Chain A
Amino acid sequence: MALMDFFKKKSSSEVAKDRLKLLLISDRTTCSTEVMELIKNDIIKVISKYMEIDSDGLDIQITQTDSDDGHGKVPALYANIPIRDMKKSVPN
């Protein structure tokens, strides 16, 4: 791959296009804090049906992670939800 790059240098317009595509993905996925709060509350609601969770310790954010196919970073919704216990009776 590195050797290929050496022989076939990307044109600056291709570089610009690639940079923009990644940039816009992350730009478009930024959420306002109000929306994040709404998502958080909904997640708590759903998970609480099945588990007892520590809602104060819940952390949720949009992060950038490496994509599976190796094409740079992709946005991901990251949630860290501490579980206290399973609910005894799971609703149908």
Chain B
Amino acid sequence: MSEVIVITSGKGGVGKTTTTANVGTGLAKLDKKVVLIDTDIGLRNLDVVMGLENRIVYNLVDVVEGNCRIKQALIKDKRYPNLYLLPSAQTRDKTAVSPEQMVKLIQELREEFDYILLDCPAGIEQGFKNAIAAADRALIVTTPEVSAIRDADRIIGLLEANDIKKIDLIVNRLRMDMVKRGDMMSIEDVVDILAIHLIGAVPDDENIVISTNQGEPLVGDSSMAGMAYMNICKRVLGEDVPFLDLNSKEGFFTRLGKLFK
């Protein structure tokens, strides 16, 4: 039984690609066989976030156009042998693939993989339609900002209209210091407005920038974001994991050190 998950947001720059990379890597860490598909044709990025940009030979468009077999285009991850990437094409545009072709491609991948994650492009046009065509469920990524939440709401409406019933929310880039001051909407505020199930919240963590610099997803490490992403992966698998206390940003020793300052 494989599951096809689309990671989408409407607005650009809220963390779809980072989320795809980390949730995908996390699921692989949890011993699932996973393939990540970058559906952002023309603006491919998932390969660099995964640190696999130098291994690309064929891409998604090559596969649907029959220039190669799927197996030839799949790139095996550096660290996890059960994790694969199907990169997007950089020199084509969204019209190079149709929703029907995506459905057919994913049908074939279902036989090989436990989880198929689709990194959706921003917007609601052709690229979005391609990405959601074969999805069983969706992870909506938003930040606690008016524009991102507005777009997320629109996306939720479109997913429901396309009969995707399992929709979960990830609130990204939370800054608890700002929430406390009353200058950022809280997780509860966002959930209240969008009225969908929350599957996780990820703090604004500078380790994300560092991990992207290095091309190595941080899921599962000891950083706050790393732990938050791992919890999301477990919840995707159906585990009941308590939510992290994002307030305890500092570790025990940091706090201890402060006492003696």
Residues of A at under 8 Å CB distance from B? 11-14, 16-17, 19-21, 23-24, 27-28
Contact = CB atoms under 8 A, between A and B. Distances in A.
A23 B150 CA distance: 8
B149 interface: yes
Interface in B178-196: 179, 181-186, 189, 193
27 contacts: A11-B181, A11-B182, A11-B183, A12-B182, A12-B183, A13-B144, A13-B185, A13-B186, A13-B189, A14-B182, A16-B145, A16-B185, A17-B185, A19-B146, A20-B146, A20-B149, A20-B150, A20-B193, A21-B193, A23-B146, A23-B150, A24-B150, A24-B153, A24-B193, A27-B150, A27-B154, A28-B157
Interface of B: 144-146, 149-150, 153-154, 157, 179, 181-186, 189, 193
Contacts of B157: 28
A13 B179 contact: yes
A21 to B, nearest CB: 7
A28 B152 CA distance: 12
A5 to B, nearest CB: 15
A23 B183 CA distance: 19
A19 B193 CA distance: 11
Nearest to A19: B146
Contacts of B153: 24, 27-28
B173 to A, nearest CB: 14
A19 B185 CA distance: 12
Q: Which 8 A-B pairs have the closest CB atoms?
A: A11-B182, A13-B185, A12-B183, A13-B182, A16-B146, A17-B189, A24-B153, A20-B146
Given A14-B182, A20-B146, 18 more contacts: A11-B181, A11-B182, A12-B182, A12-B183, A13-B144, A13-B179, A13-B182, A13-B184, A16-B185, A17-B185, A20-B149, A20-B193, A23-B150, A24-B153, A24-B193, A27-B153, A28-B153, A28-B157
Contacts of B144: 13
Contacts of A12: 182-183
A77 to B, nearest CB: 19
